[in-house]
């Protein structure tokens, strides 16, 4: 039999084939558990839970599930709402009055659960990169958003870990219990999830738990692995560790019409999709994505911290539940989850596979960048192995999907507003000078930036900048042939090389290659007054319009 005559594996054999590249005895691994119509059909661990001791991954191994935890935080809030102890549409300030009141109409608890509240996140990383914070200094992030929100509450979506950390504080304050104790007593114990608990930090040690390993890029010591340690606290946003059996038990409860935990109204709210003020409906409910995939509805949430990733996904109409937990294997659990659905449901999937936008049909676009003068947003087109990709805010490009006559950067791929572009704008042998995009229903007119970067005189940019929302000063200076922006936090430092794209826009490239590999890029827009640089505005993947005010030298 020739290789071309080898039959393509299907069903469970296809899953074995998908996992085989990661079945190694000298590398971190993953665990996959699958239930179909109430019957466990696949439970397998491959690779190592502990490389140092040669301990294999098994279905009994506990792994951090990171942001897959978020919907448990949402359900905990709804349990308190059932008792009349809070209202999910109340303002966050009602329960945490020490927070700065950044907008009169929000964010509400519900908006924070939906990531539509505008609360800034990952601010510490801007200052100090991946520096570890001492556990004793983890306090309520009162100034975590600085003096501004990312956007008006309810108008957009940007994923916010800090929002979920605030929600955990609300649960503690209202219940009078530690967050992890509340989850254990009200959710895990009633459901028999005995191996699931909340661990606030990666410093904590538990029996039977996989170590986390981070794959280093070649630019960091030639690559390899290092221990994955999340630099701050994870309470509310990604603190749970679990096993595949516990999570499959949880998925069965989610799909069951008879609930042990949570009222019918609470579960209806858990899955209700929000509509932005623009009229755009998001596929993200309360800590859960819900949307169509090839003609069936899927409900899911993934997670990622340093050295651990996960995907929890269910296809309710087929009674198919999948849990994937990874401790460092070079695999995307999100992509793997959908590949498993394809393999197991096969012809039952009536919809076509997701159709990418081919680069060949828009060959003039890769390498082109477009900028919105209104919002400062930067987007750039890239060729991703024959698929047209779009990078947003200087980050990593994701493939565009065809959606009728439009190209879609899906919310479920980015955890940001869905972005739509009419494909007719992108046709032709030359890149258009302007394009109009829909950013969650907000229409943005974007101008093409020069292909050859426009230089900005260094003496216009260099100097000291005050950053009120970070409570620090930042120096921009010339170092060799580069312009560098250096920031200092309480426990570490961060630095960016500023790379001009036009007279008003720069890319901020992290000097730390590991921080760069994790998507720590940014975009800097330049403010001017009376012809002089008066300040900068930094956009990072989950932060918008962070202001740097230039301290002008005395005349």
Q: Which of 5-9, 43-47, 476-480, 501-505 has the lowest mean pLDDT?
A: 5-9
Do residues 382 and 332 both lie within one domain?
no
Domain edge (last residue) among 348, 383, 399: 348
5 assigned to some structural domain:
no
d(CA 33, CA 46): 12
Q: What is the pLDDT of residues 205-242, one digit of tens each?
A: 999 999 999 988 888 888 889 999 998 889 999 999 99
The pLDDT, as a whole number, for residue 379 is: 95
Cβ atoms of 394 and 376 within 8 Å: the answer is no
d(CA 340, CA 322): 8
The pLDDT, as a whole number, for residue 222 is: 84
Q: What is the pLDDT of residues 374-406, one digit of tens each?
A: 999 999 999 999 999 999 887 789 999 999 999
316 assigned to some structural domain:
yes
Do residues 428 and 464 both lie within one domain?
no
Prior bond to 107 cis, omega within 30?
A: yes
Which residues lie closer than 8 Å to 512 by C-beta, 6 or more apart?
Answer: 129, 130, 494, 495, 520
131 assigned to some structural domain:
no
239 assigned to some structural domain:
yes
In the predicted model, what is the mean pLDDT of residues 329-349?
Answer: 96
Question: Is the pLDDT confidence value at 433 over 80?
Answer: yes
Do residues 236 and 321 both lie within one domain?
yes
Give the number of domains in the chain: 3
Question: Is the pLDDT confidence value at 554 over 60?
Answer: no
Which one, of 409, 402, 541, lies nearest residue 115 by Cα?
541
The pLDDT, as a whole number, for residue 137 is: 61
Domain edge (last residue) among 348, 368, 390: 348
Domain that residue 199 falls in = 63-68+178-348
- CATH number where 409 lies: 2.40.128
Which one, of 307, 301, 293, lies nearest residue 324 by Cα?
301
Express as a percent the part of the chain with pLDDT over 90. Answer: 83
Do residues 203 and 338 both lie within one domain?
yes
Average pLDDT of the residues of the chain: 93
Under DSSP, the state recorded for 176 is S
Question: Is the pLDDT confidence value at 193 over 80?
Answer: yes
In the predicted model, what is the mean pLDDT of residues 338-356?
Answer: 95
Do residues 203 and 339 both lie within one domain?
yes
Question: What is the residue-wise DSSP string for 313-365?
Answer: EEEGGGTEEEEEEESS-S--HHHHHHHHHHHHHGGG--SPPP-BPBGGGGTT-
Task: State the pLDDT confidence band at 2, using cuts at 50, 70 and 90.
Answer: very low
Question: Is the pLDDT confidence value at 138 over 70?
Answer: no
136 assigned to some structural domain:
no
- CATH number where 537 lies: 2.40.128.50
Q: What is the pLDDT of residues 451-470, one digit of tens each?
A: 887 788 888 999 999 999 99
153 assigned to some structural domain:
no
In the predicted model, what is the mean pLDDT of residues 81-107?
Answer: 96
Task: State the pLDDT confidence band at 6, using cuts at 50, 70 and 90.
Answer: low
Question: Is the pLDDT confidence value at 3 over 80?
Answer: no
Do residues 282 and 372 both lie within one domain?
no
Do residues 199 and 313 both lie within one domain?
yes
Element (H, E) at 164: helix 161-175
The pLDDT, as a whole number, for residue 365 is: 96
Q: What is the pLDDT of residues 533-553, one digit of tens each?
A: 999 999 998 999 999 999 976
Backbone angles phi, psi at 12, to 5 degrees: -65, -30
Question: Which of helix, strand or coil describes residue 416?
Answer: strand
In 10 A of CB 319, how many CB atoms? 15
- Residue 93: how many CA atoms within 13 Å on its side-chain side? 11
Do residues 197 and 335 both lie within one domain?
yes
Do residues 389 and 525 both lie within one domain?
no
398 assigned to some structural domain:
yes
307 assigned to some structural domain:
yes
Do residues 268 and 318 both lie within one domain?
yes
Question: Is the pLDDT confidence value at 260 over 90?
Answer: yes
Domain edge (last residue) among 413, 448, 483: 448
Cβ atoms of 240 and 168 within 8 Å: the answer is no
Task: State the pLDDT confidence band at 140, using cuts at 50, 70 and 90.
Answer: low
The two structure tokens encoding residue 500:
């001009």
d(CA 249, CA 243): 10
Task: State the pLDDT confidence band at 555, using cuts at 50, 70 and 90.
Answer: very low
Do residues 434 and 469 both lie within one domain?
no
Strand partners, 498: 483, 508
In 10 A of CB 101, how many CB atoms? 9
The pLDDT, as a whole number, for residue 5 is: 59
Do residues 206 and 276 both lie within one domain?
yes
The pLDDT, as a whole number, for residue 225 is: 92
The pLDDT, as a whole number, for residue 1 is: 44
């Amino acid at each position: 039999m020739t290789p071309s005559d080898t039959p393509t594996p299907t069903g469970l054999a296809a899953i074995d084939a998908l996992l085989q590249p990661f079945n190694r005895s000298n590398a971190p691994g993953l665990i996959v558990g699958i239930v179909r119509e109430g019957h466990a059909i696949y439970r397998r661990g491959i690779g190592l839970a502990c490389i140092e001791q040669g301990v294999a991954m098994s279905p009994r191994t506990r792994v951090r599930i990171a942001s897959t935890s978020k919907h448990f935080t949402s359900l905990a809030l709804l349990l308190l709402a059932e008792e009349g102890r809070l209202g999910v549409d109340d303002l966050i300030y009602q329960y945490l009055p020490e927070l700065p009141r950044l907008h009169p109409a929000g964010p509400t608890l519900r908006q924070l659960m939906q990531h539509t509240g505008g609360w800034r996140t990952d601010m510490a990383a801007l200052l100090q990169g991946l520096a570890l914070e001492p556990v004793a200094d983890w306090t309520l992030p009162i100034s975590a958003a600085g003096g501004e929100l990312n956007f008006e509450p309810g108008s957009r979506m940007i994923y916010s870990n800090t929002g979920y950390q605030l929600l955990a504080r609300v649960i503690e304050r209202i219940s009078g219990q530690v967050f992890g104790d509340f989850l254990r007593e009200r959710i895990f114990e009633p459901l028999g999830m005995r191996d699931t608990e909340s661990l606030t930090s990666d410093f904590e040690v538990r029996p039977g738990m996989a170590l986390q390993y981070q794959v280093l890029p070649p630019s960091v010591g030639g690559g390899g692995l290092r221990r994955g340690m999340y630099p701050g606290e994870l309470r509310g946003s990604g603190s749970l560790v679990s096993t595949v059996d516990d999570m499959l038990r949880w998925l069965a409860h989610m799909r069951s019409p008879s609930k042990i935990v949570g009222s019918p109204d609470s579960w209806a709210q858990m899955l209700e999709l929000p509509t932005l003020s623009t009229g755009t409906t998001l596929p993200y409910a309360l800590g859960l994505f819900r949307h169509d995939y090839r003609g069936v509805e899927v409900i899911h949430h993934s997670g990622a911290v340093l050295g651990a990733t996960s995907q929890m996904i269910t296809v309710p109409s087929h009674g198919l539940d999948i849990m994937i937990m990874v401790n460092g294997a070079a695999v995307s659990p999100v992509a793997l989850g959908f590949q498993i659905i394809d393999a197991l449901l096969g012809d039952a999937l009536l919809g076509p596979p997701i159709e990418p936008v081919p680069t060949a049909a828009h060959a003039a676009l890769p390498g082109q960048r477009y900028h919105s003068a209104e919002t400062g947003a930067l987007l750039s087109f890239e060729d991703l192995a024959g698929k047209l990709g779009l990078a947003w805010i200087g980050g990593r490009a994701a493939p565009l999907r065809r959606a009728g006559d439009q190209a879609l950067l899906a919310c479920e791929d980015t955890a940001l507003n869905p972005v739509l572009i009419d494909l007719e704008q992108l046709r032709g042998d030359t890149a258009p000078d302007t394009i109009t995009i829909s950013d969650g229903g907000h229409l943005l007119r974007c101008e093409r930036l020069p292909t050859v970067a426009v230089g900005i005189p260094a003496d216009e940019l260099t100097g000291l900048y005050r950053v009120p929302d970070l409570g620090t000063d930042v120096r921009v200076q010339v170092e060799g042939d580069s312009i560098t922006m250096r920031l200092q936090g309480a426990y570490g430092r961060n630095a960016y090389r500023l790379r001009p794209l036009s007279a008003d826009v720069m890319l901020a490239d992290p000097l730390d290659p590991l921080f760069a590999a994790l998507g720590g890029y940014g975009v800097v827009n330049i403010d001017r007054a009376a012809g002089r640089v008066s300040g900068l505005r930094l956009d990072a993947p989950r932060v918008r319009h962070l202001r740097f005010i230039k301290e002008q030298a005395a005349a």
